[in-house]
Homo-oligomer: A and B are copies of this chain.
Amino acid sequence: MTNKKIPDIIIGRLPLYLRALERMTTEGAIVTSSKELGEWVGISAAQIRKDISQFGEFGKQGTGYNIDFLSKKLREIMNIDRVWDVAIIGAGDIGHGLARYQGFLDRGFRVALAFDIDPEKIGTKIGDVVVEDISKMVVSINDADVKIAMIAVPADNAQDVAEKLVKAGVKAILNYATIIINVPEDVRVQYIDPATHLQWMTYYL
Footprint of B on A, CB under 8 Å?
Answer: 11-12, 14-16, 18-20, 23, 40, 77-80, 84, 86, 92-94, 96-98, 100-104, 107-109, 147-148, 150, 155, 171-172, 174, 178-180, 188, 190, 192-205
Contact = CB atoms under 8 A, between A and B. Distances in A.
Given A174-B194, A204-B172, A80 B199 contact: yes
Nearest to A150: B194
A79 B202 contact: yes
Contacts of A179: 23
A88 B158 CA distance: 26
Contacts of A171: 204-205
A192 B190 contact: no
B93 A196 contact: no
A158 B178 CA distance: 26
Given A14-B203, A203-B14, A198 B180 contact: no
A77 B203 contact: yes
Question: What's the number of copies of this chain in the assembled complex?
Answer: 2
A77 B148 CA distance: 36
A199 B23 contact: no
A98 B192 CA distance: 12
A15 B200 contact: yes
Contacts of A203: 11, 14, 77-79
A180 B23 CA distance: 8
A188 B200 CA distance: 9
A19 to B, nearest CB: 6
Contacts of A97: 92-94, 96-97
Contacts of A204: 11, 171-172, 188
A180 B86 contact: no
Contacts of A19: 180, 193, 196
Given A23-B179, A77-B203, A147-B205, A196 B16 contact: yes
Given A11-B200, A23-B179, A199-B107, A101 B194 contact: yes
